[in-house]
Structure 1
Amino acid sequence: MSFGTYARHVRNPELPYRRRVSALRSCVQLYRPIGFHATLSFLEEIAGPFQRDEAALLRALDALVASRAGWHAELRDYAAERKLAKRRGQRNPRPTDPNPSGFPRCWYGAPRQAALHAVRYWRRRTAPALLADPDSITLDVDACVTASLAAGGSLLPAQRQMLGATVEALRQRMRPEMWRDDSRAYYRAFNLLRVARHLETAADAT
């Protein structure tokens, strides 16, 4: 079913409450800008205990819908910009051009707050396993996480430079051959890169 259909189920007071909560989870499965579990956790932080409180459930859905609408607005703007660029002869986007297609780049409407929530969630749930057997890149990401959380998302120039180098190293690791040769290392790099992107969002957001 579509996001809109699930959203209507969330709002339908005639459905069993457990089914409405399940419908919200299905909405998050279709739109999860900071990851599935981190998005659910963030919704509970900003809306309240939606698993047992109807008002919180509706607030959570409204927040998710608003963020998704912001993403769709950026998609429309991007499509319009690409159309104009093609008319000027630029057939392909530049690698540095921000491209919101495929996956939302942040939580629209609260990018820093959501990014920091995702980073804190990662620190609690995923980092302990990775740090039990760390490599240099894992340690660099964790150092940036510590600095970001301590400063409310801001990073000093040297920390931002380290984060940029880490992102590039992780991108190099995620080559197709890594998926074939070492899927565990690939997923580790994917996880760390996602956290690094959250750190960039928190540092860049105003």
Structure 2
Amino acid sequence: MSFGTYARKVRDTSLPYGLRVSALRSCVQLYRPIGFHATLCFLEEIAGPFQRDEAALLKALDAIEASRAQWHADMREYAHRRRQAKQRGQRIPPAQDRNPNGSPQIWYGAARSAALSALRYWSRRRLPALRVTADEAGNTVDVLVAAALSSGGDLTSEQRQLLVLAAAELRGRMQPDLWSDDPVAYYRARDLLKAAYLVETASNDGQTRSSADG
């Protein structure tokens, strides 16, 4: 079913409350720029305990709908710019021109706070399982996640450079032969790169495409 169909189920007070909560989770399945579980945590942070509170449930739905609407507006604006550029003969978009199509990379309307919320989730649930003593790039990401959380997202210039270098190293590992030879290492590099992108988003409020994301 579509996002709109699930949203209507969330608002339908004739349905059992548990089914409405399940419908909200289905909305999150369709719009989860910071990941499914991290998005649920962020919605609870900004709306309250929606699993058991009516007002919080509706506030969470309003928040995800508003963010998704901004993403759709961004896609329409990008399409308009590309049409104009093509009319001028510019067939290939500039490298710095962020393309919002596909899976959204930020939480529209609250990029920084959502990224910080996701980092709090990652520090509790994901990063401990990704730690390997001898992995310098992974350890750098781990340290920078802690630094971003302690500073509210602010990074020093040195920390930003370390993030760029760690992300480049992690991207270099994600080659097809690694996926076939050692899928565990491949997915670990992928997840660490996601954490690096969240750090960058938290540090720049999502206004530009992250260097950690390539």
Q: Do both share a fold (TM > 0.5)?
A: yes
Write out aligned runs for 1:25-174 (5 A): 25-131=25-131, 133=133, 135-174=135-174
1:180 counterpart letter in structure 2: S
Other-structure match for 2:184: 184
Aligned counterparts of 1:75 and 1:36: Cα–Cα separation in 2: 22
Q: CA deviation at 1:112?
A: 0.8
Deviation by residue 1:70-99 (Cα, 9 ceiling, x = unmatched): 111111111111112212222122333211
Fraction of identical pairs, as percent: 62
Aligned counterparts of 1:60 and 1:134: Cα–Cα separation in 2: 41
2:44 counterpart letter in structure 1: E
Q: Please say if residues 132 and 138 of structure 2, whose CA atoms lie closer than 8 Å, have aligned partners that are also in contact.
A: no
Residue ranges of structure 2 left out of the alignment (5+ in a row):
208-214
Corresponding residue SS for 2:92: coil
Corresponding residue SS for 2:77: helix
Aligned counterparts of 1:79 and 1:15: Cα–Cα separation in 2: 39
Q: CA deviation at 1:143?
A: 1.2
Deviation by residue 1:181-200 (Cα, 9 ceiling, x = unmatched): 22111111111111111111
With the length of structure 2 as denominator, give the TM-score of the two structures: 0.92
Q: Please say if residues 118 and 198 of structure 2, whose CA atoms lie closer than 8 Å, have aligned partners that are also in contact.
A: yes
Other-structure match for 1:14: 14
Aligned counterparts of 2:162 and 2:203: Cα–Cα separation in 1: 13
Other-structure match for 2:198: 198
Aligned counterparts of 1:54 and 1:81: Cα–Cα separation in 2: 41
Structure 1 outlier segments of 4+, above 4 Å: none
2:3 counterpart letter in structure 1: F
Count of aligned positions: 206
Corresponding residue SS for 1:107: coil
Residue ranges of structure 1 left out of the alignment (5+ in a row):
none
Other-structure match for 2:211: none
Aligned counterparts of 2:85 and 2:161: Cα–Cα separation in 1: 31
